[in-house]
Structure 1
């Protein structure tokens, strides 16, 4: 909350300073045209995000926000971003659930980013795009970096404060998780082009608005096809779970547990999306396992167990055909690997195992231990806590197990606490 207040105060101070200085006041028709059109583009970009991957959408207001930073006086750019983002965020909040803190933070984040970019551009290029020398191009690049840095710094600070993780651990994970940088580059480039168009012919900015509904609809239709395919694969995984009454809802629960672990570890949204989607269908390969083996109530023979161990590879081959699942295929293939290298199918150990697979393994183990099976009743939380701590560093990644303990509100067992001799389900 303190960060939100600080951001809002700084943004308001920037506007106040600009107004008191009277920079280029009163503003003329060109500035008003720029401000009105950019306000509309910013609000539209925030209200109508473009669907991307599973449960992810790309907000495109970065482009008009950056254009505002290049075209308008810093105080006017901040004011436009305030009106556009706060209005759009409020409307979005009314659609779902209204969070005042979220509206305040997102608005302040946009304003501070715009102010930073506008200030850098004003200092280095004199607030003019009517030049074509290298200095202007360098200034535009520095302005984009300033806006991106402010935005990322605010997000990182909030996540770091909420999760309470070590700075040295979270920073590399945050940087690695910024796989959407290509999108950022494209949006900043589009903002620069829009600013060039606006500087030469202000009313031509309207041409940027006209194709947006068609583009949005086309991309939404394409995403709908992906979602239908994704839902079909998820339905297939649920069918596998439904074959055995003792595993009903297993994949869904593992996905929920995996998401909690990812959030606790402070992973980036796109990484969380990959892990959760892979967890949701991690056992889909069991569609290729014979019922006589999959549903056998007694002990499996060596031949039958070898057949069961085929399901991660089957699932990986099946999901690799679909773009939405492609990045998570390695998590599906390796979710039965063990930290000490005794797992299957590849015998990977420690950090040779993909992080997503290690997360799914912890979630899978917890659900297997606490669920009732044909050969035993589900274990209670206390027994599960002790047993998961015991196998951490053997079967499971100890760091991921500790993240799950924190998410569960569990304490790590003290020396001398012993788990009952219950075998962890495969």
Structure 2
């Protein structure tokens, strides 16, 4: 990784400065920054945080933003593109990426960095206020990343680019926003003392651990709720594995209806835990072999509401609580708990 970073840094400066390179103080500074930022991009890229299938958050935004703000356009482009290229090559066997996937990933970041660095140069020459320039370049990079990333991911996920853009904006905006804020602070410090960039390694590690912990908590909560749903199914010998079967049937229906995007994850998650409210139903009612009394039926029919109330306690799963609450409603309005009818 370090050797590759050195080679790419040297190449970036050589291309930018032209043949017969003689490194003066400015050229040497660009070389060292290119090396450091390329290595930072690669190090961050080897530890992604997976959000959902084919979509992940990678803490490469800070070094990519710093490269765009601190280096000339060609150097910034080769630093960003070269760093991403090294990531793709080092993880090719693990991820199974094709040469075209690798070229696309590296090429789009080379393009984003060059265009953004040119915008930095033009903004500086125009005398744009520093806060406006910092925020404007971050917004430009974010938009370019979302758009080009959506077109890169869409063929792999069998979703439209527009749906992927929506998912990326919703799922990655917080992580990207935090990174751009850190990047702005890093750039401000580097303009005064370039060596201060090295001090941002620790804050980035803390940010990475925080996002990773949050994702692990989300996944752990999901597995806990699914475990509770399975426990409910096991309490009733007539419905063993019911939630899993409903989830599989829902998946097939969604596929036949050609529905894709974030709604699919929401529906399947809700299907998986739709009967979780039965955990509050006594065994004498849940497993009663004879007809339920009116009072017992009232208690049994409360399980959708109980399930929705349980999911409401978990912010990450609260979006599915309406599906859970209304999974026993009927088109003719004779369902429960709210007696909804038609498309209500």
When normalised by structure 2's length, the TM-score is: 0.75
2:150 touches 2:165 (CA, 8 Å); kept in 1? yes
Structure 1 residues 80 and 246: CA distance shift in structure 2, 3 A: farther
Number of aligned residues: 327
Residue-by-residue CA offset, 1:41-97 (whole Å, 9 max, x unaligned): 222322223577999753221222122111111211121112211222333443354
Paired residue for 1:208? Answer: 200
Specify the alignment match of 1:40 in structure 2.
39
1:191 is displaced (CA, Å) by: 1.9
Structure 2 residue aligned with 1:250, among 236, 242, 245?
242
Give the direction of change, closer, same or farther, for the CA distance of 1:80–1:163 in structure 2 (3 Å limit).
Answer: closer
| Structure 2 residue aligned with 1:135 | 129
Structure 1 residue aligned with 2:142, among 131, 134, 148? 148
**Paired residues of 2:147 and 2:165 also in contact (CA < 8 A):** no
Query: How far off is 1:204 after superposition?
Result: 1.0
The counterpart of 1:181, out of the listed 173, 182, 198, is 173
- Looking at structure 1, the residues matched to 93 and 278 of structure 2 have their Cα atoms a distance apart, in angstroms, of 43
Separation in 1, partners of 2:137, 2:189:
18
CA pair 42-35 structure 1, distance change in 2 beyond 3 A: same
- Aligned residues of 2:105 and 2:152 also touching (Cα < 8 A): no
- What is the TM-score when the length of structure 1 is the normalising length? 0.62
What is the CA–CA distance in structure 2 between the aligned matches of 1:311 and 1:24, rounded to whole Å?
A: 77
Segments of 5+ residues of structure 1 without an aligned counterpart are 1-14, 128-132, 353-426
Residue 284 of structure 1 corresponds to 276
SS of the residue 2:169 aligns to: coil
Given the superposition, is the C-alpha separation of residues 76 and 348 from structure 1 closer, same or farther in structure 2, using an over 3 Å criterion? farther
Are the structure 2 counterparts of residues 299 and 56 from structure 1 closer, same or farther at C-alpha, using a change threshold of 3 Å? farther
In the alignment, is the contact (CA less than 8 A) between 2:189 and 2:197 conserved in 1?
yes
Q: 1:105 to 1:250 in 2, by over 3 A?
A: farther
Alpha-carbon distance in 1 for matches of 2:20, 2:302: 71
- Give the C-alpha shift of residue 134 in structure 1: 4.8
Question: Quick check: 1:51–1:219 contact (8 Å CA) kept in 2?
Answer: no
Root-mean-square deviation (CA), in Å? 4.1
Q: Residues 299 and 264 of structure 1: is their aligned pair in 2 closer, same or farther, counting only changes over 3 Å? A: farther
1:239 aligns with 2:238: no
Contact 2:81-2:106 at 8 Å conserved across structures: yes
Q: CA deviation at 1:208?
A: 1.0
